[in-house]
Structure 1
């Protein structure tokens, strides 16, 4: 069952800005990563999901409710963390928490207290005097305090220090175990890689790829870096190998090769005929895959064609 549905949504602001025919679905209990740099269209999509903006084309639904027509219900039910934080003036953190508790009719504050302790939030401070990190913690507490089943998080760890970023990741994994449905929009590879079941990459307002995280992590294509003992060994390997090897510098004695399980045995057979200094496997990462779409020169060097199979 799809809890979140985005169907062919377009919002064209002109001059190539906006989102264009964006579609994806998020199943119940799934953590879905929405990955892209600032300006790619992540926040625009999320604002449509929260009913802040009406699409020119397409439809969006959360729990079967139209996001534009049922915006008030969705704002009440969903745990939403905006990328750009805005709070009422003249309030302390605690005052804002109490305000949100009344809005959501929360009488038991035990979960709120747990969240404040987890994220080490000093809620007694005036919000205007808080650092960006403290404001982000306040937003996190109020997004999760009513224990929502659906969470929409836009750049949730922006402004947090590394310790709090790691704590946030562990908390999301706990929420995942509880069966929460989470849309996590981010440009931070580590938090997406650590938490998400599927990942959509957005570029210039277009979703260019949707992949299962498990397929990336268990990708059978491997990249090896090999350094030969001497330039003579390197030249001998080049003369005999059946692999296509780009020669970037004539004086080099290293190569990088993208291999499958089928071609790995052939490589080691060829290497047995020369002397090498070392061979090491270069782990393929989400960042490598992402850069296929944002840096085509790098993607060619990384063997993009080897990744086309099974992960798009």
Structure 2
């Protein structure tokens, strides 16, 4: 049985806002990435899993328990890191950790101390005086202090500096090795690529793709950049090519295109009709795959014509 199940969840707020027929499963020991820009529906889905809101349709389960009907019971089994942080007023970090430890009936504080040291967190100051990065570290410590087997992380590295972001990624990989089941919601491609076994892409409240990370790494699609010897060669190639050009740089006599290994011979045949300065391969990334699902708009800027992805 999957540890986390989301079955046809719909929450319609009107005017195209909400999530619609969202379904996915997460197996034990899997890190599952939930990838999309702000407003795509990631947090709304997570709020259903946490039992904060009731769906219009569908249901979700964690360890076989309905997340709405058994919300209070499930929370003891989960480490939850919210995207938007909210702490009690007039508490120090130490007082908040003590409060959370009592709530979870934690008597052994050794793991908490290890987490504080790992993330270099000073818990002596008042929370309201803490920087955003320190508040995020405090949220991380309290999410993991009871050593939960299921982790639900919403934009977990938001507010952390690059050093701490990298440390958090390594921490997640260590938790994965221990068999933890992790849902990681993010819009940071490098974070998702570094940690996740499978990745769901959500757009306008709909899951448009679920891909295995290994399949993406073995993808035979490739991107190539070509620079022509002259503007005449550049124009001649564009006029006669059978390929779709993703980026055009007329002021530099350059183009970029995506193609598979099978199309390589055709590309070189076309290029033999013109003069080129160079051709270079560019690795297809998760970001490239993700962008294929988002609206593209033609734009011209500084002599560069390209496809601009609408993410905002």
TM-score by length of 2: 0.88
Partner of residue 292, structure 2? 292
Displacement of 1:275 in angstroms is 3.8
Partner of residue 107, structure 2? 107
Partner of residue 212, structure 1? 212
Mapped partners of 2:251, 2:129: distance in 1 = 59
Mapped partners of 1:7, 1:243: distance in 2 = 40
Give CA deviations for 1:211-256 in whole Å, capped at 9, x if unaligned: 1122222210111111122345546656776656699687873332
Mapped partners of 2:272, 2:136: distance in 1 = 56
Are 2:33 and 2:185, in contact at CA under 8 Å, matched by a contact in 1? Answer: yes
1:230-309 alignment to 2 at 5 Å?
230-231=230-231, 233-234=233-234, 243=243, 253-271=253-271, 274-297=274-297
Which shifted more, 282-291 or 93-102? 282-291
Give CA deviations for 1:156-198 in whole Å, capped at 9, x if unaligned: 1111111111111111111111111100011111111111111
Partner of residue 310, structure 2? none
Partner of residue 48, structure 1? 48
Mapped partners of 2:217, 2:160: distance in 1 = 27
Are 2:227 and 2:252, in contact at CA under 8 Å, matched by a contact in 1? Answer: no
Displacement of 1:117 in angstroms is 0.9
Q: Secondary structure at the match of 1:25?
A: strand
Displacement of 1:114 in angstroms is 1.1
Quickly say closer, same or farther: Cα 1:247–1:293, change in 2 above 3 A.
Answer: closer
Give CA deviations for 1:107-131 in whole Å, capped at 9, x if unaligned: 2222111110111110111111111
Give CA deviations for 1:230-287 in whole Å, capped at 9, x if unaligned: 3455466567766566996878733323221112133335545654211111221222
Partner of residue 98, structure 1? 98
Displacement of 1:294 in angstroms is 2.1
Which shifted more, 54-63 or 260-269? 260-269
Q: Secondary structure at the match of 2:207?
A: strand
| Structure with greater helix share of residues | 1
Mapped partners of 1:20, 1:61: distance in 2 = 17
Partner of residue 160, structure 2? 160
Partner of residue 134, structure 1? 134
Mapped partners of 1:251, 1:231: distance in 2 = 8
Displacement of 1:29 in angstroms is 0.8
Are 2:246 and 2:257, in contact at CA under 8 Å, matched by a contact in 1? Answer: no
Partner of residue 120, structure 1? 120
Give CA deviations for 1:44-88 in whole Å, capped at 9, x if unaligned: 111110111111111100000110111111111100011111112
In structure 2, runs of 5+ residues without a counterpart are: 299-305, 308-312
TM-score by length of 1: 0.88
In structure 1, runs of 5+ residues without a counterpart are: 303-312
Quickly say closer, same or farther: Cα 1:172–1:246, change in 2 above 3 A.
Answer: closer
| Structure with greater strand share of residues | 2
Mapped partners of 1:243, 1:181: distance in 2 = 42
Q: Secondary structure at the match of 1:160?
A: coil
Mapped partners of 1:251, 1:196: distance in 2 = 40
Are 2:248 and 2:254, in contact at CA under 8 Å, matched by a contact in 1? Answer: no
Mapped partners of 2:224, 2:154: distance in 1 = 36
